[in-house]
């Protein structure tokens, strides 16, 4: 494919697609679930997040309360696969209790985009597997709202690939045209 939009345009008929940039089927399923339940709103309402509809994804999910434009992060729920990879159940901890330095700054940047722009963010990068070498992790951060007024929660899907070495960190926010095209494709049955 040629052209400057090649990396950003994937899917049927070369339509813009955020889903097409998500490199893991489990995270694509989470995105589809979020997109379908969110509809035309900027963020999924917390009351519309029904975990019984996504049982196979639960072990890869993190639910966080956010404030201060994404700088204040407290982890409300952490799935079992995420706990195993980190080597700690960080449910109830704040981001400052979990990390520091460059990792803290990166996490705040990522959450800041999700909260400030009310858009999903897909990222990939290196992950230090508990007492092992660096491997690849893929993450999908999705905006949630308790009231529909502002993004005050983030739903994160995180998967780990122990077969492939980590890559340099990549952070990709969704664009409005991609979200609209993905929602239209989902509604048409062609997501």
Q: What is the pLDDT of residues 143-180, one digit of tens each?
A: 999 998 899 999 999 998 877 766 678 889 999 999 99
In this prediction, residue 168 carries a pLDDT of 76
HEC letters along the chain:
CCCCCCCCECCHHHCECCHHHCCCHHHHHHHHHHHHHHCCCCCEEHHHCCHHHCHHHHHHEEEEEEEHHHCEEEEEEECHHHHHHHCCCCCCCEHHHHCCHHHHHHHHHHHHHHHHHCCCEEEEEEEECCCCCEEEEEEEEEEEECCCCCCCEEEEEEEEECCCCCCCCEEEECCHHHHHHHHHHHHCCCC
Q: What is the pLDDT of residues 107-138, one digit of tens each?
A: 999 999 999 999 999 999 887 655 666 688 99
In this prediction, residue 28 carries a pLDDT of 97
pLDDT at residue 47 above 60?
yes
pLDDT at residue 41 above 80?
yes
pLDDT at residue 68 above 60?
yes
């Amino acid at each position: 494919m040629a052209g400057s939009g090649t990396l950003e345009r994937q899917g049927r008929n070369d339509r813009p697609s955020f889903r097409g940039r998500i490199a893991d089927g489990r995270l694509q399923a989470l995105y589809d679930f979020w997109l379908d339940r969110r509809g035309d709103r900027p963020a999924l309402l917390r009351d519309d997040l029904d975990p019984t509809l996504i049982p196979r994804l639960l072990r890869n999910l993190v639910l966080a309360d956010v404030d201060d434009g994404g700088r204040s992060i407290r982890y409300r729920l952490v799935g079992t696969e995420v706990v195993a990879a980190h080597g700690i159940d960080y449910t109830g901890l704040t981001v400052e209790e979990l990390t520091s330095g460059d990792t803290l700054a990166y996490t705040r940047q990522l959450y800041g985009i999700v909260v400030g722009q009310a858009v999903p963010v897909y990222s990939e990068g290196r992950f230090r597997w508990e007492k092992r070498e660096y491997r690849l992790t893929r993450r999908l951060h999705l905006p949630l709202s308790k009231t529909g007024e502002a993004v005050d929660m983030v739903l994160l899907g995180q998967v780990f690939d122990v077969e492939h070495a980590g890559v340099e960190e990549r952070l990709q926010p969704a664009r409005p045209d991609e979200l609209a095209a993905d929602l239209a494709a989902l509604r048409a049955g062609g997501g």
